[in-house]
Amino acid sequence: MPSITIRQLDEALKKKLRLRAARSGRSVEDEVRTILREAADERGSAAADDPVPAAKRAISRSGAAAAPGRKRVLLIIGGGIAAYKSLDLIRRLKERGFAVRGVLTKAAEHFVTPLSAGALLGERAFTELFDAASELDVGHIRLARECDLIVVAPATGDLMAKMANGHADDLATAALLAAGTRILLAPAMNPHMWANKATQRNLARLIADGVTIVGPNEGEMAEHGERGLGRMAEPLEIAAAVERQFAEAGALAGKRVLVTSGPTHEPIDPVRYIANRSSGKQGHAIAAAAASAGASVTLISGPVNVPDPSGVSVIHVETARQMLEAVQQALPAEVAIFAAAVADWRVANAGEQKIKKKPGQATPELALAENPDILSTIAHRKSQRPKLVIGFAAETENVAANAQDKLRRKGCDWILANDVSPSTGIMGGDRNTVALVSTGGVEQWPPLSKEDVAAKLVARIAGAIEK
Ligand SMILES: Cc1cc2nc3c(=O)[nH]c(=O)nc-3n(C[C@H](O)[C@H](O)[C@H](O)COP(=O)(O)O)c2cc1C
């Protein structure tokens, strides 16, 4: 027998409820309430084999927490085509033992009904901010506070904009603004909406605020003939990201982590400098991921245009020599990750005054001097060497071989090697394809968002430190 889709289930449930309501002369909503009450009564008398109803029973009408040890997820469903997949996500999360509550935005109700969401949740889905009964019962503040993670799927462009700017004009955004917990977003939208500068600005703001992102993926859009980056991550991917959130939380608790990020600027004179194209996105994402995992993080950043990550202590520097000084000041640390693209050379004869262009004068010649090698200096320290020293190798050819050579020369423990040839779009882009190089060999990672690279790296670090 072919498997039943969520849409078919939704249709069948609605049809059955309408029939039942027509027969009894009551409203569909009343029928749903009766079914939920009956189900609760049945669960009260029989041992339930689904762990979630057991947890739900523990959430009393007065709003007590879920059963001890059971993680509570608040799923906010936004108004996008992908909302139907979130019904499957509810099932996937419950299968994994999470207690799930649901909120639908007004727009989401155009795509899926509170009825089908409620049927899968095993309790009603919340939709109203200004609803006296809901507010007295659970209320937007308790919805936000009595959970361990909020998942927004699909996260529409609109929801992301509202979150980035602190709006709270409906139940979903009010709960998000009141949240004291971690938030995971699964964006889903048309590729043009996703690429829009406003969405990317909001995304950067949200990441800086400590929000974690899963997806979006590349592929076919609902709109005929459109494809690109913007498809919501699949329910299984989101469920895995939820599990990662709980696994990561606390994985680096009590550890001191040092991260460098961005380029350095090496002055030619007070107004000119030599720089490179590093954006700081990868280093900042690593600092944010380490902080999310409970580490005490010091981020030493060169000049970048990305915001400081929240929950991280940030030291801003300009030159390679300032960066080395700041790194040494920040020791001791258990882990040091050198993601900054430090200039190899500085101008030896930098002018103290602006070098003037005068008619007839020869073009000035810039003599270069070698900058200190921060990675090698720290990796070769006799005292206060971090247990794990990780470097980055930005290469344009022979990536793995050059990285292995760099690992030996610098004396570090791991190198994350990436191909930064302009055609890869990695420098300044949002995605990265890296290989983790250690004395154990070369492990190629698939193309990932820079946040996912950061999360994967932090998980590996946590594993290595534990050993
Ligand atoms: C057919 C249709 C499909 C839509 N799909 C999406 C989508 O996938 N992603 C998105 O960000 N907005 C989408 N929108 C626009 C949102 O529904 C709209 O911005 C709405 O205000 C979002 O409300 P919410 O963020 O409160 O859920 C779609 C609109 C329509 C009419």
Q: Both 184 and 241 in a single domain?
A: yes
How confident is the model over 387-398, as pLDDT tens digits? 999 999 887 778
260/243 same-domain check: no
102 with 157, same domain? yes
In a domain, 32, yes or no: no
What is the residue type of 117?
Answer: A
Answer yes or no: do 411 and 454 share one domain.
Answer: yes
Query: What is the position in ligand 1's atom list of the atom closest to the CA of 172?
Result: 26
> What CATH number has the domain bearing residue 211?
3.40.50.1950
**One-character DSSP codes across 287-319:** HHHHHHTT-EEEEEE-S-SSPPPTTSEEEE--S
Q: Domain total for the chain?
A: 2
Q: Which residues contact 298 (CB under 8 A, 6 or more apart)?
A: 256, 257, 258, 259, 312, 313, 314, 315, 330, 333
pLDDT tens by residue, 208-232: 888 999 999 988 877 777 788 999 9
User: What separation in Å is there between the alpha carbon of 90 and the centre of ligand 1?
Assistant: 20
125, pLDDT greater than 70? yes
Which residue's alpha carbon is nearest to atom 9 within ligand 1? 189
Q: Do 297 and 183 fall into the same domain?
A: no
Print burial letters for 378-416: b (CB count within 10 Å at least 16), e (below 16). bbeeeeebbebbbbbbbbeeebbebbbebbeebbbbbbb
Pocket test for ligand 1, best of 111, 158, 160, 206 (most atoms within 8 A of CB): 158
Residue 418 has pLDDT above 70, yes or no: yes
The whole-number average pLDDT for the span 431-439 is 89
pLDDT band at 37 (very low <50, low <70, confident <90, very high): low
Which atom in ligand 1 lies closest to the alpha carbon of residue 189?
9
Please, which residues bridge with residue 149 across strands?
73, 182
Query: What's the rounded mean pLDDT across residues 110-138?
Result: 86
Q: What is the mean pLDDT of the chain?
A: 85
User: What gap in Å lies between CA 392 and CA 267, rounded to an integer?
Assistant: 24
Helical (H) or strand (E) element with 15: helix 6-24
Nearest CA to ligand 1 atom 14: 80
* Average pLDDT value for residue range 63-87: 80
Of 196, 202, 217, 276, which is the active-site residue? Answer: 276
- Going from the Cα of 11 to the center of ligand 1, the distance in angstroms, rounded, reads 22
Checking if the pLDDT of 275 tops 60, the result is yes
What pLDDT is recorded for position 140?
Answer: 78
How many Cα atoms occupy the beta-carbon half-sphere of 408 within 13 Å?
6
What is the distance in A from the centroid of ligand 1 to the CA of 156? 6
Element housing 84 (H / E): helix 83-95
- Is 192 inside any structural domain? yes
What local confidence, expressed as pLDDT, does residue 262 receive?
A: 96
pTM listed for this prediction = 0.55
Please give the pLDDT value at position 195.
95
Residues 237 and 265 in one domain: no
> Do 172 and 72 share a structural domain?
yes
- Indicate which residue's Cα is closest to atom 17 of ligand 1: 79
Report how far ligand 1's centroid is from the alpha carbon of 32 (Å): 27
276 is catalytic: yes
What domain range is 235 assigned to? 6-27+51-248
